[in-house]
């Protein structure tokens, strides 16, 4: 059992989440922080959960991406899915990622967790904006 899995199992009651979300949250891709990103953004959601995105961008391509959140399983799964979509893509391609796309890729989210997908995508977008505004 990986460290992320153990941490999540101890932190939260898993009831209400689909098997798919639990599976993704137990095998988080791109989870963590980055020392020298090209751009970075963090947003605190209305629920108090915080999301951070770190990007390495070269010639308009997202060469590396990491996200970090202290939020719930749904938040972690949404961040991981947004990071997976962004990895290796152009900025233009990343700008086609939407909260709805995240929800569909997770095969649904509990209604009271739809804002987790908005938090993930908004933070990713803000990191892109950070890059574009610095150029
Ligand atoms: Fe607030 Fe997920 S519960 S972002």
Which residue, by CA, sits nearest to atom 4 of ligand 1? Answer: 116
* Residues ≥6 apart with Cβ < 8 Å to 114: 99, 103
Domain boundaries, the chain: 3-134
60 — alpha (psi -120 to 50), left (phi > 0) or beta? left
CATH assignment of 3-134, among 3.40.50.150, 3.40.470.10, 3.60.20.10, 3.90.1010.10: 3.90.1010.10
The alpha carbon of 72 and the centre of ligand 1 are apart by a number of angstroms equal to: 6
pLDDT of residue 93: 97
pLDDT tens per residue across span 67-126: 999 999 999 999 999 999 999 999 999 999 999 999 999 988 888 899 999 999 999 999
Give the distance from CA 72 to its chain's centroid. Answer: 12
**2 vs 62, higher pLDDT:** 62
């Amino acid at each position: 059992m990986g460290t992320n899995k153990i941490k999540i199992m101890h932190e939260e009651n898993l009831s209400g989440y689909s098997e798919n979300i639990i599976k993704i949250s137990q095998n988080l891709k791109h989870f963590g922080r980055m020392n020298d990103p090209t751009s970075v953004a963090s947003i605190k959601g209305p629920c108090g959960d915080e999301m951070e995105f770190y990007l390495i961008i070269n010639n308009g391509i997202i060469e590396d991406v990491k996200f970090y959140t202290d939020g719930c399983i749904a938040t972690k799964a949404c961040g991981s899915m947004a990071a997976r979509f962004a990895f290796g893509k152009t900025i233009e391609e990343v700008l086609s990622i939407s909260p709805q796309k995240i929800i569909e890729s997770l095969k649904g989210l509990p209604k009271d967790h739809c804002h987790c997908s908005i938090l993930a995508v908004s933070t990713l977008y803000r990191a892109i904006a950070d890059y574009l505004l610095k150029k």
